[in-house]
Structure 1
Amino acid sequence: MTVTRASAPRAVQAATQAISATGLRKSYGDKTVLDGIDLTVPAGTVFALLGPNGAGKTTAVKILSTLITPGADSGEIRVGGHDLATDPQAIRAAIGVTGQFSAVDGLITGEENMLLMADLHHLSKREGRRVAAELLERFDLAEAAKKPASTYSGGMKRRLDIAMTLVGGPRIIFLDEPTTGLDPRSRHTMWGIIRELVADGVTVFLTTQYLEEADELADRIAVLNDGKIAAEGSAEELKRIVPGGHVKLRFTDPDAYRSAASTLREAAPDEEALALRIPSDGSQRELRSILDWLDSAGVEADELTVHTPDLDDVFFALTASTVPAQNDQPKENAR
C-alpha cells in the first residue's frame, strides 16, 4: 500500500526530507536578505536555488549549514532530521559544504589536503589514508596526489575541494556555485560527479549562476528574488509559466507564404522575411496539427523552427522589474 505524502505521519514525512525550512528570515540592519522563505528538499535529490547576485542564495546556504544564525523570527529549520535551533552539531556531522571559494591549501599536496581533512574528522591514520586514497582515485586525482595543489588546474582544484567535502561521508552536500570559473569541459566533469553522488543517495543543495546547470541537474528549482521565492518547481514546470512559445514557418516562395498567411489567421506575419509565427506550446500534438494542415493545404514551408521558453526566459521574467515583451527576439531551435 502506498502512503501519500498528505496522509503520511509527520515523522515519516520528515524522514524523507533532507532539508526543510519554514519562514526562513535574515536581515543585516535595515537590509532584509531573506524574507520568510520556505524550502523543502527530498532526500536523494538535487535542489537548485537560483537568483541574481545579492538575492540571498549564499546566505541561505550559510544558515542551513550552520555557518550563520537565521533571523530570530524564523520558523522551524531541519537539516538531516535535526533541528537547527536545538542540535546544530548533529547537522554539522551530517553535511558537507563546498563554498564559492576553494578551501584547498595550495602549499601542500592534494593528498595532504585530504589527510588534513581526515584528521579534522577524527579518523584514524589508517582509515584516513584509505578514505583519502579512495576519493583521490574516484575523482581522477591519484596521479597528481603527490603534487602541490597550487599546480592543479581550476577543474582539478574544484574536484579536490569536493573530494575533501566527502571525507566525512556526508549524506547532504551544499554546493555554492561549484563550477564558477571552470571551462565547459571541467563543468561537464563536475556535473558527472554530482550525478554520481545523487545516484549513491546523497542530497545536493546547489546554488548556481548557470541556468543550463540547473536545467541539467536539478529535480527541483527555486528562483529567489528580493528575498522571496518567486517560483518553484521542476525545470519543465517553470518553463510553462512563461508565455511566448511558438512555431515559426519560413518560406522562399511568396505565393506559398501568402497562401499560408491567408489561412493561418492566428499567425503573426513577417512579410519581409516571408515567415509566420504561430503561438504553440511546442507539444507533439500541436506540431502534428501544423504539419497535417500544411499537407492538406498543399503548402510547403522551407523551414520550421520551434521556440519553447527556457530557464533564461524564466529567470529574466521572474527577476526583472518588468516581464520581457513577447515580441523580443527569441532563441529558436531548428527542427
Structure 2
Amino acid sequence: MRKLVFTLLAAGSLILSNSATDAEAAINSKNNAVAYESVNNEYNLDIEQVSSGSATKLSGTYKFKYNTNVRQDAGTKYKVVTLAKKGATATATHQKKVGSQTWYKVKVGSKSGWVLNTLVSKTTVKKAAPAASKATAKSGTFKMKSNTNVRTDAGTKYKIVTVAKKGATATATHQKKVGSQTWYKVKVGSKTGWVLSTLVTPATAAKASSTVKKASSSSSIDSKVVSEALALRGTPYVFGGTTTRGFDCSGFIQYVFKQAGKNISRTTLTQYAETTAVSSPKPGDLVFFANTYRAGISHVGIYIGNNQFVHAGGSKAAVVSLNDSYWGPKFHSFRSY
C-alpha cells in the first residue's frame, strides 16, 4: 500500500510538471510560432512560488528572436500585454532575476512589459546622420590635396558627381556644417558639388601675398608721385615741355612719375588710355579734363586729396581746387595706374 501511494504521488508530480510546461507551450497562429518561457526545474510543481529579485536598471536595444509574449511582470504567470513580432526591436529599462531566469523590462512600440532574456538578442541601432546646417556664402580658390570625391550634397552618403584630381583647383561658393565637419560647395571645371573642407587647401595664399606686395608698392609710388609733384610747384608752363625748365600738362605727369620710379607714356591721350577709371580717387591718381584748348580729353593733373589737384597749366605748375570756376566744369574723370 505504501508503494502504491508513492507511485500515485510520483505520477501526480509528473502530470503536474507536464501541465506547467504545457502552459507556455508554443501556440501556432497561421504557422507563426509564439516563443514560450519554460520552467527549468521539471520537478518544481508550482511556478507561482519562484521568488523574484528586485528590478535593477538596464539599458540597450534588443531584437526579438521569435514572436514573443510581453508580460505585465517578470514571470509566465503574468498577463500578456502584447505579442512582439520576430525581428521587432525593444528598448530595455530594467532587469529582474526570477529563480535562475533573468527577465528584461522593455518598451515595444507604445507598450511596456517583461520578456525572458533568452528570447531577445542585443542589437545596435544605427545613429541618425548628423543634421546639416544651412549653406552660407563662401569664396576662395582651393586646391585638392589628393584625388577627391565631389558629391551632390554635403555628406558621404550622397552620390559622387566627379572625382577631382590631386592638385586640381576649385572655386568655392558655399559652406555647410554637418555635425563636426565642414563641407564646401565648389566648382571644378564644369562640375559643381560638395567636398570635405579637410581635403582641400587654399590656393590663393601666394597670390594674396603678391597682391599685398603690389598694393604696398603702388601706395609707395602714389606717395612719391604727390611729393615730387608738389616739389615742382612754380615751374614755368611751356607747351611741349618735359623738363624742369618748363612743362606742359602731360610732360609734367610723365616727369613726376619717372622721378617716383614708374615710366609712363608722354601724351594726355595715351596716359588716359593706359589708366583705369576710379570712382573714389586717392592721392597720386590722375585727373582728366575735357574741352579745354581742344575738344575731348585735353588736360591732365595729379589728384592730391581734399578735392585738389596739382598740374602744369596757366603760367606755372600749381595746386588748384576742383571747384575752380574754370576747371570744375571741365572735369572729366579720375583714373589710376
Same topology, TM > 0.5: no
**TM-score scaled to structure 2, two decimals?**
0.19
Whichever structure has more strand as a proportion of its residues is 2
Question: Highest CA radius of gyration, 1 or 2?
Answer: 2
- More helix by proportion, 1 or 2? 1
Greater length-normalized contact order (CA 8 Å, ≥ 6 residues apart): 1
